[in-house]
Every structure is written in C-alpha cells, then in structure tokens.
C-alpha cells in the first residue's frame, strides 16, 4: 500500500517579509487585491442607491472606485518587492480590475448614462479573454502587451469621468469628453482583444509543432 504525500497548505509561508521560502496565498499583496475586489459591490451599491441624483452617495461611490483603481499597482509592487508572487495572485489581480471596471460600466448603464451595447462589448471581450487565458494557462502564457495596459488605463479614466458628476458644475461639455474617452477605451478594448486572440493562436500552433 502506498500513500500519497499530503499537499502543502497554501496558506503557510511568508505573509509580508522578503525571502526565498514559499509565500503564503494569504500574503499582504493578495490581501490588497482581495480588498480591491470587495470594494466593487460597495461602490456599485452606492452608485445605484444615488439613482442618478448626483448626490453625496455618487461622490462616495466614485471615490471608492478611484481608490481601488489607484491601488492597482500596490499589490503588484508588494508582490515583486517582497518576492510574494503566487499563482493565486496572478489569477486574482486581473479579476479585480475586471470586477471594478465591469461593475462600474454595468452601474452607469443601469442608470441610463451609457449605452448597454458598449458595456456588453467590453464585458464580452474581458470575460472571453480571461476564460481563454485560463484555458491555455498550462500550455501557452501570453504576456500582457503595452496595448493591454493602455487599454486598462483608458477604461479606468473613462469610467472615472463617467462616475464623477463633473457636468453638474462644469457643464454638459463634460459628457462629450467622456463619450470620446469611452470611445477610445472601446476601440482599444476590441483591438487588444483581437491581438490577444492572434497571439494565442500563434502560441498554440508553436506548442503543437514542438510536441509533434
């Protein structure tokens, strides 16, 4: 009779200090990422509770979104500086970005401030590429492109402008600016999605040739 070795507990390991030993899944970098994800339903609730009245709840919702977006690089910096990079963190970080941006897009569409087709196109691209990345994770790793990073920031800026009611004290021209920014974000979302699909197909073909 043979006994398999017990799997190591992923929660054991370094939480904050630097070192070469395995890092805990519950390390400080991953905690920041989880906190960013948990902010998503909070700011969405505040946004919808304001119901388009541009009151205090909307400003609080926008502030929480901005806080979550601005801390996007904090978890990555902590993970790299303290050698706390984990597979769990690699999966969780893009989920946080998509939960925040996707939730905000859905929220402003519910309020009638953004056409649903824009939200649907962006969500289909983001969720589709994420599913593809996870499906190909063992065979093909497609690194994030500069265009992908630019897309993320374009989405974040456009959504931030859409959330903060600048128009209430600057005028309706803000709506035009936000429409342009959202259009740029939409184009970058589609273009980088196509680029990822092409690079994924090339990677799969190379992997298949290497195996044959």
| Domains by residue range for the chain, with CATH | 28-211 (1.20.120.1760)
What gap in Å lies between CA 143 and CA 158, rounded to an integer? Answer: 25
Q: Is 14 left (phi over 0), alpha (psi -120 to 50) or beta?
A: beta
Q: Is the pLDDT of residue 60 over 70?
A: yes
9-46 pLDDT per residue, tens: 666 677 767 777 777 877 888 888 888 899 999 999 99
Hey, which bits of the chain come out as E strands?
Answer: none
Decide if 43 contacts 64 (C-beta within 8 A).
yes
153-199 pLDDT per residue, tens: 899 999 999 999 988 888 889 999 999 999 999 999 999 999 988 88
207 against 212, higher pLDDT: 207
Decide if 184 contacts 154 (C-beta within 8 A).
yes
106-147 pLDDT per residue, tens: 999 999 999 999 999 999 999 998 888 777 766 666 666 778
């Amino acid at each position: 009779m043979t006994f398999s070795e017990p799997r190591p507990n992923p929660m054991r390991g370094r939480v904050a200090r630097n070192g070469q030993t395995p890092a805990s899944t519950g390390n400080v970098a991953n905690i920041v990422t989880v906190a960013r994800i948990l902010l998503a339903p909070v700011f969405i609730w505040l946004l919808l509770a304001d119901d388009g009245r541009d009151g205090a709840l909307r400003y609080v919702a926008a502030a929480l979104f901005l806080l979550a977006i601005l801390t996007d690089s904090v978890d990555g910096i902590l993970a790299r500086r303290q050698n706390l990079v984990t597979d769990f963190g690699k999966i969780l970080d893009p989920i946080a970005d998509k939960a925040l941006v996707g939730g905000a897009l859905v929220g402003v569409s519910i309020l009638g401030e953004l056409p649903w087709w824009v939200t649907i196109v962006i969500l289909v691209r983001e969720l589709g590429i994420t599913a593809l990345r996870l499906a190909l994770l063992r065979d093909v790793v497609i690194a994030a492109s500069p265009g992908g990073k630019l897309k993320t920031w374009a989405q974040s800026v456009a959504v931030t402008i859409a959330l903060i009611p600048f128009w209430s004290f600057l005028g309706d021209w803000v709506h035009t600016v936000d429409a342009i920014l959202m259009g740029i974000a939409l184009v970058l979302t589609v273009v980088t999605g196509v680029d990822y699909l092409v690079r994924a197909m090339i990677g799969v073909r190379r992997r298949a040739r290497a195996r044959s």
